[in-house]
Amino acid sequence: MPKRFRWCPNQKKVVEVEDRAELPRQVPLSDAMGFPEGSLAKFEAHRKSHGCSGVEFVRDKDVPQFYQVKCDSWRDRDKYMQKRRMWNDEKTHAGGITAAELRKAEELVRERHGTPV
């Protein structure tokens, strides 16, 4: 099963999530499921045709040419990910990041926000 990670603001670092219960109640905006603005019509049609309610596309505040995905609940998020084929047969995330990619992400957070990771 792939590992899950989240940003822990109290510890100011990325931590591994052992159990789904540790995930925050509110579903964060997702860049991973996001897309460029030229694809908005395609993704909106896909969302509607697959009956994915509780999902909306929000323009990224930092990169206005990019849309993030906002889900009302973890269940809506999981359903949308499955319909987008971002889920594998073991019902775990099909995508994932390597340890090197995680280190790079930590470096980017450090550079951008000036916080130690």
Q: What is the pLDDT of residues 30-39, one digit of tens each?
A: 877 888 999 9
CA–CA dist 30, 6 (Å, integer): 12
Q: What's this model's pTM, rounded to 2 decimal places? A: 0.54
**Mean pLDDT computed over 2-19:** 70
User: 69-114: per-residue pLDDT in tens?
Assistant: 999 888 888 888 888 887 655 544 445 556 677 778 888 888 888 7
Name the token pair of 49: 């045709």
> How confident is the model at residue 2, as a pLDDT?
62
Is pLDDT larger for residue 57 or for residue 25?
57
